[in-house]
Amino acid sequence: MKKITGLLAAGFALFAGQAMAATLDDVKARGFINCGVSEGVPGFSNPNAEGDWKGFDVDMCRALSAAIFNDPTKIKFVPLASKQKVLAVVTGQVDLTSRTTTWTMKRDTKEGVDFTSVVFFDGQGFMTRKQNGAASAMDLNGATVCVTAGTTTELNLEDFARANSLEFEPVVFEGKKEAVNAYRSGRCDALTTDASQLAAFRITMPDPAEHVILPEIFSKEPLAPLVKHGDNAWKDLVTWTINGLITAEETGVTQGNASEQKASSKNPTVQRMLGVTGDYGSYLGLENDWLYNAIKAVGNYGEIYDRNLGSESPLNMPRGKNALWTKGGLLYVAPLR
């Protein structure tokens, strides 16, 4: 019921206020950011036992909060279901979403939102039981596959099967939970959805070590935070905070050594990033040490990844495509100058 009234209110807002002030001014006046997150995907955004939001997407919002307020806690997290996420941004219910949203042409052009910087390169994959002995998706011929009814997951699966002359027997469920349960109980040999979510579901299995995610990734799912279309200053701020965190990893600035680097680094890029030289913060309407504060709060991109998704987390996902371009990955951001 609450959701319905929320949607209704959002719908009315669609007609009402177009002439809203710049988002950054609103945020500063309000004193906190409204950050839309998912309803609970381990590793990305999930409340822990104390009710604190943790995860990769959550840390992106924390970095933003630190950049604006020099305090990573000035955030109100708003959990959004998949179908709410776009409307919530368009109507101003949240200032941005930081929740596994694929950048597509239609969303970017027709739905009143803009994408900022890609934070995670995802793609659809398979998870299967180790005992099946499949080393690659090509070994899955004839397998029964649990799928969620969705816009692209079923199509991607079928395209992949046709392109490689494989045959799958799909069992299609309305929700993720039902599909995962059916896979867990042994109804299906394999489960297919975005690889990052497979990793998250894997650790919720009673025997995570018995399940493997196969190497084939057969769709493009670049995930990026969403902001409202038209507020370019706010879009720039979110984009460059993310770019800054990635640049920090490139230049080796970490949560631990940021103060030291600020005091002594001779690297001009580092000096610009940390606000030693130039006035880059003012380009975004912020203090010049905005990125320094963000890095001090949550670390650089690599640290955020390792803590939530990578080697230091239960998900233990390899960096793969999300490594820096210098290390064979896809992370390549515009220069900070």
Partner 1 sequence: MLSTFFTPRNLLSNLVQLLMVAAAIGGAYYLFLSTQENLAARHIETGFAFLSQEAGFPIGDSLIDYQSSDSYGYALLVGIINTLYTAILCIILATVVGVIVGVAQVSDNLLIAKIAKTYVEILRNVPVLLILLFVYGVALAGLPSVKQAVEIFPGTFLSQRGLYFPRAIPEDGFIWVAMAFLVAIGLTILMVRWAKKRQNLTGRSLPLFWLGTAILTLVPLSVFWMAGGPVSWDYPALKGFNFSGGAVFRPEFLALVIGLALYRGAFIAENVRSGIMAVSKGQNEAAAALGVPPSRIMRGVILPQALRTIIPATTNDYASLVKDSSLAIAIGYPDMVSIGGTMIGQNGQAIEVIGIWMLVYLSINLVISVLMNVANKKFQLVER
Residues lying near partner 1 in the complex (CB under 8 A) are found at 110, 132, 140-144, 146, 149-151, 154-155, 157-159, 161-162, 168-174, 178-179, 181-182, 185-187, 189
Q: Which is nearer to partner 1, 30 or 187 (CB)?
A: 187
Q: Which is nearer to partner 1, 54 or 129 (CB)?
A: 129
By beta-carbon proximity to partner 1, the closer residue of 110 and 266 is 110
d(CA 11, CA 231): 20
Q: Using alpha carbons, select from 331, 334, 324, 315 the residue that is nearest to residue 43.
A: 315
Smallest distance, Å, CB 315 to partner 1?
26
Alpha-carbon span 44 to 55, nearest angstrom: 4
Gap between the Cα atoms of 225 and 244, Å rounded: 15
Least distance (Å) between residue 140 CB and partner 1: 8
Least distance in angstroms from the C-beta of 155 to partner 1: 5
C-alpha dist (Å) from residue 113 to 44, 233, 242: 21, 14, 18
Cα gap 263→96, rounded to integer Å: 33
Alpha-helical regions (H) of the chain: 2-16, 23-30, 56-69, 85-90, 105-110, 153-163, 176-184, 195-202, 232-251, 258-264, 268-273, 280-283, 290-298, 301-308
- Of the two residues 125 and 281, which places its CB atom closer to partner 1 in the complex? 125
Structure tokens at 2: 């609450």
- Least distance in angstroms from the C-beta of 86 to partner 1: 14
Of 10, 31, 17, 25, give the one whose Cα is nearest residue 89: 10
- Are 184 and 102 spatial neighbours (Cβ–Cβ below 8 Å)? no
How many residues does the structure list for the chain?
Answer: 337
Could you tell me the smallest distance in angstroms from the CB atom of residue 190 to partner 1? 9
Our CB check for partner 1 shows the closer of 31 and 133 to be 133
Bridge partner list, 227: 114
Neighbours of 327 (CB within 10 A): 11
CB nearer to partner 1: give 61 or 127: 127
In the complex with partner 1, the residue whose CB is nearer, 5 or 151, is 151
**Shortest spacing between CB 109 and partner 1, in angstroms:** 11
3-state DSSP assignment of residue 83: helix
Minimum CB–partner distance for residue 112 and partner 1 (Å): 12
Quote the least distance from Cβ 141 to partner 1, whole Å: 7
